Amino acid sequence: MDNFKFYTELKVRYEETDAMSVVYYGKYFVFFEVARTEYLKNIGHNYVDIEENGFYFMVVESNCKYYNPARYDDDLKIFTKIEYVRNSSFNFLYEVVKEKNGGKIQIAKGNTVLVCVSSKDFKPRRIPEYLRIAIQNFENSPIG
């Protein structure tokens, strides 16, 4: 997590747990979406503005590996970063942790790959240059 510059915090809600009183596995993808949205806001570009400029980001791949359970009312941190930006696709990496007794417990790791498409015809489009620059500036490295 040391190489992540951004995280967002979430408190586990009761509706996110299953019959075993742990976070239902599919909810982690919702957590990833929240983290992704907050990351983009943090670098100055929210989804509403991006969509108003004629672009959508479609998730084309998503993965999650689970290490420890999260439970109702746990405070989670979702560390988020972009590993690469290509012509029309980019990816996010996520690490979900909770703090306990002064230490961090790894809950899950995941990634998503998104493709930039036109909002008119859903065909792939080059990721807007303003977004590429914002990501590169935030991550302090060439992303590619």
pLDDT attached to residue 6: 97
Structure confidence at residue 2 as a pLDDT band (50, 70, 90): confident
Query: What is the average per-residue pLDDT within 103-132?
Result: 97
Which single residue is written with the structure tokens 């969509």?
A: 51
Segment 4-21, tens digit of pLDDT: 999 999 999 999 999 999
Whether residue 34 has pLDDT greater than 80? yes
Q: Characterize 107-127 residue by residue with b for buried, 16 or more Cβ atoms within 10 angstroms of its Cβ, and e for exposed.
A: bbbbebbbbbbeeeeeeebeb
Whether residue 109 has pLDDT greater than 90? yes
Q: What is the mean pLDDT of the chain?
A: 95
Confidence (pTM): 0.94
pLDDT attached to residue 1: 66
Best CATH choice for the domain 6-139 from the list 2.40.110.20, 3.40.50.720, 3.40.30.10, 3.10.129.10: 3.10.129.10
pLDDT attached to residue 144: 64
Segment 66-90, tens digit of pLDDT: 999 999 999 999 999 999 999 999 9
Choice between 95 and 142, residue whose per-residue pLDDT is larger: 95
How big is the chain by its Cα radius of gyration, in Å? Answer: 16
pLDDT attached to residue 140: 87
pLDDT attached to residue 141: 74
Q: Which two tokens stand for residue 135?
A: 């990501």
Helices (H), the chain: 27-42, 47-52, 129-139
Q: Quick one: how far is CA 71 from the chain centroid?
A: 20
Segment 40-59, tens digit of pLDDT: 999 999 999 999 999 999 99
Q: Is 28 exposed, middle or buried (0-12, 13-18, 19+ CB in 10 A)?
A: buried
Nearest of 84, 85, 90, 94 to residue 38 by alpha carbon: 94
What are the sequence ranges of the domains in the chain?
A: 6-139
